[in-house]
Amino acid sequence: MKTVVITGATSGIGLAAARCLLKKGYRVICLGHNRENCVKAELSLKAEGIGAEVLFFRADLMQQGEVNRVADLLCGYIEKNCEGKLYALINNAGCVRSRYTTTQEGYEQQFALNYLAGFLLTFRLLKFLVRAGGRVIMTGSRSHRGIGVHWKDIMLKDGYNPLTAYKQSKLCGYLFAKALNDRYSQCGLRAYAVDPGLVRTDIGNKQTGTLVNLIWLMRKRHGAEPEVPAETYGFVCEEVSPPAGLCYRDSRECGCGRQVTSKNADALFELSEKLCGIKYPGAGEI
Ligand SMILES: NC(=O)c1ccc[n+]([C@@H]2O[C@H](COP(=O)([O-])OP(=O)(O)OC[C@H]3O[C@@H](n4cnc5c(N)ncnc54)[C@H](OP(=O)(O)O)[C@@H]3O)[C@@H](O)[C@H]2O)c1
């Protein structure tokens, strides 16, 4: 049985992707933030009769200490119960903020959760992914287009604009997928970005101010149900034979923004290693 890890799997797109992959026969390890939401999500999958191969771990992935703590648990579990192989890691957990807020490390929260948590978690699970000839899937967004990385102030502290911070965090996810392919394709690892489109979830209604809350309440009415993008994760896991493309939407390959270049991917990769205090191994060292 193939094992998949999904972050942010207690609600919205992540929960729907977990449901889709469980139905396809995967063992799904879900990561959630809040204990109560984890229990609720697990019970709902079990009540549907598809929860036999699901389990939940809880962690505040915004904090690097928490990413490392849960990664230790995942490594132990995968080694013991999954033959040391991880078929897919879906870095999906995400948030929206309406003002400048930071993590314990002092990193801007959207950058820390939407991008950097996935960078660190992938590092920690890399050997299991390579062993399985696996894939890393970043949840992207069309909003990554038309923006560049603010290299001189990546936390966007000066003149903070929450929408710019969100878009940049999503662009970083595409750059990370590209960097992984540039470095590890030869080991059989492949990375992709999935653009879910506009989806009716509560992401803009969690820990946001009145204005963002209101805008999202109106905007999400036009969104698709989470089950729609969930199919694309199923498609990328089942139907795409590596290498294939980088970006997918509606179960089809699609283009990505002009800033998604190897040069930018390399620069971000190096900066992220410093921000996490880690060094990814070379392709021959895993
Ligand atoms: N909705 C859209 O239209 C849309 C469009 C493009 C991209 N996306 C992306 O899709 C992804 C999923 O978002 P969604 O729309 O499905 O929203 P969602 O329902 O709010 O899902 C977000 C998930 O991330 C988890 N999470 C939040 N803070 C966390 C933390 N500190 N540590 C660990 N997990 C945390 C949430 O858990 P709790 O609920 O327990 O906090 C939840 O499971 C995000 O990356 C988002 O940027 C969404």
Ligand 1 pocket, residue 11 CB under 6 Å: yes
What kind of architecture, by CATH, is found in domain 3-279? Answer: 3-Layer(aba) Sandwich (3.40)
Pairing of strands 88-91, 54-58: unpaired
pLDDT band at 250; cut points 50, 70, 90: very high
Ligand 1 pocket, residue 229 CB under 6 Å: no
Question: How many angstroms separate the alpha carbon of residue 95 from the centre of ligand 1?
Answer: 5
Ligand 1 pocket, residue 198 CB under 6 Å: yes
Ligand 1 pocket, residue 143 CB under 6 Å: no
27-80 pLDDT, tens digit per residue, is: 999 999 999 999 999 999 999 999 889 999 999 999 999 999 999 999 999 999
For ligand 1, atom 29: residue with the closest CA: 33
Q: What is the pLDDT of residue 52?
A: 83
Atom of ligand 1 nearest to the CA of 61: 32
Atom of ligand 1 nearest to the CA of 37: 40
For a substitution probing ligand 1, which of 40, 69, 95 has the most ligand atoms within 8 Å of its CB?
95
SS3 content of the chain, % helix, strand, coil (to 5): 50, 15, 35
Pairing of strands 54-58, 27-32: parallel
Q: Is the pLDDT of residue 242 over 90?
A: no
Structure tokens at 230: 């969930």
Question: How many angstroms separate the alpha carbon of residue 24 from the centre of ligand 1?
Answer: 23
For the chain, the distance separating the N- and C-terminal CA atoms, rounded to the nearest angstrom, is: 23
Atom of ligand 1 nearest to the CA of 226: 16
Ligand 1 pocket, residue 64 CB under 6 Å: no
Q: What is the pLDDT of residue 12?
A: 98
Percent of the chain past pLDDT 90, that is, above it, reads 95
CA-nearest of 96, 2, 94, 9 to 45 is: 9
For a substitution probing ligand 1, which of 5, 6, 7, 13 has the most ligand atoms within 8 Å of its CB?
13
Q: What is the pLDDT of residue 51?
A: 81
For a substitution probing ligand 1, which of 33, 40, 168, 206 has the most ligand atoms within 8 Å of its CB?
33
With b meaning 16 or more CB within 10 Å and e meaning fewer, what string describes 240-251? Answer: beeeeebbbbeb
165-197 pLDDT, tens digit per residue, is: 999 999 999 999 999 999 999 999 999 999 999
Dist. CA 246–CA 181, nearest whole Å: 9
Mean pLDDT confidence for 244-271: 97
Domain ranges of the chain: 3-279
CA-nearest of 178, 171, 196 to 249 is: 196
Atom of ligand 1 nearest to the CA of 198: 3
- DSSP-derived secondary structure for 220-262: GGGSBPTHHHHHHHHHHHHTPPSSS-SEEETTEEE---TT--H
Structure tokens at 63: 């904090």
pLDDT band at 241; cut points 50, 70, 90: confident
Pairing of strands 252-254, 27-32: unpaired
Ligand 1 pocket, residue 39 CB under 6 Å: no
